[in-house]
Structure 1
Amino acid sequence: MPQLETAIGLMSGTSMDGVDVAMIRTDGECVVERGPSISLPYDPAFRRRLQGALETAKAIVSRQERPGDLRDVERELTLRHAAAVTAFLARFALDPAEIDRIGFHGQTVLHRPRQALTVQLGDGALLARETGRPVVYDMRANDMVHGGQGAPLAPAYHAALAAGLEDYAGRATMFVNIGGISNLTFIGAEGEIIAYDSGPGNTLIDQWVEAEAGLPFDQGGAIASEGVVVKTLIDRYLDQPFFTSPERMSLDRNDFRPPVPGEIGLHDGARSLARLTAEAIARSLRHLPERPALAVICGGGRLNRVIMQDLAEILSPMVVEPAERFGFSGDGMEAEAWAYLAVRSAKRLPLSFPGTTGVVKPVSGGVIAQPSSSAQA
């Protein structure tokens, strides 16, 4: 019987809406026992601080730099993650001593893969001291050192979950995470893993409805459901190099911008951007060796019924289902992945592969911070 570790994963994604916390028991390879998960939203004031941090971070040229107020934002972000761990343990009556390690993603504020530069705010050593548990963090950097784009890293976990989809054994499947940026993981019938960013997910919709309606997101696709698709707007995005280049690219939240205020109405804008999210995923399938039989949708975008309807229409006859259809957590999957990667990192197992990030060879990564000692690479 393989030795299992209990790990907590913490994810604050490109939507910047809060902290997802999830727990699993795993050997970091083929055994995954899923535990509970929760999502703890940020208050509007802190979301605005994170949005400001994106602008400040544009001045960074070395990944250790923290210009302006980024150091203060990083500390507050870390303390909020520590509080999230405390709340999670209390919610499920867990003893901190039961947790072998914590996987800490942090908040991406800059991602420039062509410059081998990625910055995730998050002080792993501080989180280790606050929680009293070992913390694995900064998991993207080593991939870039070895020629990768630093993302996506969740595919190793998706492959472990796909192995349990008995109804689709022997057929290609894919996991699609629709967060701020969408990304997909393809698992071939023989276990081949291919993964990459597929385009804007919720980020343009969120930015649009916040600017036009003062709302943080289009809940359930309610705004989009009252609009019509403006094809010229979608084509303007799909004509950009990300969608026309034969090369797979990793995206930053700021690589695409929402429509200019006034050029389109609120509802038509939300409807068109929802369609864009689906069209972008479909367009990205050109990089795959075969068309999957199944698409498992996770991330906040699966709750937007307009996006899900568009995906089902565009990808037909592929089966398109939310993660919950298979007993997975659509909200907690990315956090679960970071728990899984933390265990792999501690065992020095690969986190990324040539088919996922473009790295030259499978490589591990991450920095380990102990509660009462300095971090170790």
Structure 2
Amino acid sequence: MVGAAIRRAGEKVKGKLAEPIWALGAMSGTSLDGVDAAMVLTDGVTISEFGGCGYRGYTDAEQAVLRMALGKWPGDDLDAAASVILDAHIAALRGFDAEVVGFHGQTLAHEPQGRGTHQLGDGAALAEALERTVVWDFRSTDVDMGGEGAPLAPFFHWACAKWVDADVPVAFLNLGGVGNLTWVDPASDAPEAPGALLAFDTGPANAPINDLMMERRGLSYDKGGALAAQGQVVDGALELFLEEGYFRKMPPKSLDRNDFSLMLDLVRELGDADAAATMTAMAAAAVMQGMEHCPVLPDRLLVTGGGRHNPVMMAMLDSALDCKVQPVETVGLNGDMLEAQAFAYLAVRVMRGLPTSAPGTTGVRTPVGGGQISRN
């Protein structure tokens, strides 16, 4: 019944019976830097236009509250963190004229084969405050049906590949707190079609480097890779990192932000610069390992997320991979807002009964649409 309803809704959209609407997406990633907000005009299948965007950074005090909440689950004392998330999102999202809001919330813990996945955030309260329909809790249904619940941006990456008129396979690499890779066959008719997408988390990216910078320097991140550029990669630590069993696991697969906390232990005895250089190399090496899972080598690797601003990491990837490595801006996309845009796009899919994940993206048994809908 559910599958038939999804197919009927998809046929209506593909038949252009559903008109594009303006959707507003919000993303607060595991790097804990702030809330991105971005508008997309879409029918839930194709991208018609990109709209305005905004950003509301977390203060140092707010970041401290969110850091204390990492790893916690429903039932823990999370009132302070919930207040930070709600207030920051209200501030970031007010002023946009959208028919629907896609609200990801803040991931605190992720154990898809254990306790599930936990994105803190009250979509109903946000809908009331914004006086807008809000789609939220995107991941739980996928996990409940046996999927990893992550990554969820791949369906949007498929739409982006269509938007840039890609005619050969391409890959999108998001270097956020965790790295995730999406391989796209743009010849496919729908993102849920068999073989259209392969997606998975590659490994840690910015999160452990940010933790190192906070611990050693009291800074939130290594701006421009400046500290890493001063150091040398310690091969022994890098080799120990690559022995982690996660890299031998076949995708789809996903990670929690803190699954690779051992990285800090591996560089504990190193000086600040060498530690930063080695952890940056670890993030790049994780991507290199992940690229081996691609069905065919993509024509180009389009990089989004904060990591694309790190020239040390980008140079490592460019020198090691046999395809072009480029920031997504080279094809006219906004790498700072792609995740927020993804949840705008996914919100419309949820509203229209279309799937938001599939076996090739999360390992879920069958294409499934997630998300709760709260109307103001």
Q: Structure 1 length as normaliser, TM-score?
A: 0.90
Residue-by-residue CA offset, 1:87-145 (whole Å, 9 max, x unaligned): xx2xxxx5xxx411100000000100111500000000100011000000001001011
Q: Tell me, yes or no, if the aligned pair for 1:234 and 1:272 is still in contact at 8 Å.
A: yes
Counterpart residue number, 1:50? 66
Q: Look up the equivalent residue of 2:364 and give its one-letter code.
A: V
Of residues 354, 357, 362 in structure 2, which corresponds to 1:357?
Answer: 362
Q: Look up the equivalent residue of 2:65 and give its one-letter code.
A: R
The alignment covers a number of residue pairs equal to 351
1-side partners of 2:258 and 2:48: how far apart? 34
Of residues 86, 96, 106 in structure 2, which corresponds to 1:78?
Answer: 86
> Percent same amino acid at aligned positions?
40
Shift of 1:83: 1.2
Structure 2 gap ranges (5+) = 1-15, 189-195
Q: Tell me, yes or no, if the aligned pair for 1:144 and 1:150 is still in contact at 8 Å.
A: yes
1-side partners of 2:367 and 2:155: how far apart? 11
Counterpart residue number, 2:10? none
SS in 2 for 1:343: helix
Q: Look up the equivalent residue of 1:208 and give its one-letter code.
A: L
1-side partners of 2:109 and 2:338: how far apart? 23
Counterpart residue number, 2:7? none
Q: Look up the equivalent residue of 1:13 and give its one-letter code.
A: G
Counterpart residue number, 1:322? 327
Of residues 251, 263, 278 in structure 1, which corresponds to 2:284?
Answer: 278
1:231 equivalenced with 2:231 (yes/no): no
SS in 2 for 1:198: strand
Of residues 271, 280, 296 in structure 2, which corresponds to 1:265?
Answer: 271
Counterpart residue number, 2:110? 111
Alignment of 1:159-308 (within 5 A): 159-166=158-165, 168-169=166-167, 171-188=168-185, 190-191=187-188, 192-246=196-250, 248-257=252-261, 258-260=263-265, 262-308=268-314
Q: Tell me, yes or no, if the aligned pair for 1:124 and 1:135 is still in contact at 8 Å.
A: yes
Give the stretch that moved more between structures: 135-144 or 1-10: 1-10
1:333 equivalenced with 2:338 (yes/no): yes
2-side partners of 1:26 and 1:264: how far apart? 49
2-side partners of 1:306 and 1:247: how far apart? 27
2-side partners of 1:226 and 1:42: how far apart? 28
Q: Tell me, yes or no, if the aligned pair for 1:248 and 1:287 is still in contact at 8 Å.
A: no
Shift of 1:73: 1.6
Q: Tell me, yes or no, if the aligned pair for 2:158 and 2:186 is still in contact at 8 Å.
A: no
Counterpart residue number, 1:312? 318
- Change over 3 Å in CA distance of 1:248–1:345 after alignment to 2: closer
Shift of 1:262: 4.4
Give the stretch that moved more between structures: 353-362 or 254-263: 254-263
1:10 equivalenced with 2:18 (yes/no): no
Counterpart residue number, 2:39? 23
Counterpart residue number, 1:66? 75
Q: Tell me, yes or no, if the aligned pair for 2:300 and 2:324 is still in contact at 8 Å.
A: yes
Shift of 1:26: 0.4
Counterpart residue number, 1:374? none
2-side partners of 1:324 and 1:47: how far apart? 28
Shift of 1:248: 4.0
Residue-by-residue CA offset, 1:301-357 (whole Å, 9 max, x unaligned): 0000000111100113x0111011111010100000000000000001000000000
Q: Tell me, yes or no, if the aligned pair for 2:199 and 2:252 is still in contact at 8 Å.
A: no
Give the stretch that moved more between structures: 253-262 or 217-226: 253-262
Residue-by-residue CA offset, 1:258-303 (whole Å, 9 max, x unaligned): 4237411100111111111111111012222111111100000000
SS in 1 for 2:354: coil
- Change over 3 Å in CA distance of 1:132–1:284 after alignment to 2: same
Shift of 1:67: 1.1
Counterpart residue number, 1:345? 350
2-side partners of 1:164 and 1:139: how far apart? 24
Residue-by-residue CA offset, 1:151-176 (whole Å, 9 max, x unaligned): 0110000000101333x41x110000
1:152 equivalenced with 2:158 (yes/no): no
Counterpart residue number, 1:375? none
Q: Tell me, yes or no, if the aligned pair for 2:161 and 2:186 is still in contact at 8 Å.
A: no
Counterpart residue number, 2:13? none
Shift of 1:190: 3.4
SS in 2 for 1:157: helix
Shift of 1:30: 1.7
Structure 1 gap ranges (5+) = 372-377
Q: Structure 2 length as normaliser, TM-score?
A: 0.90
2-side partners of 1:147 and 1:116: how far apart? 12
SS in 2 for 1:287: coil
2-side partners of 1:189 and 1:104: how far apart? 27
Q: Look up the equivalent residue of 1:269 and give its one-letter code.
A: A
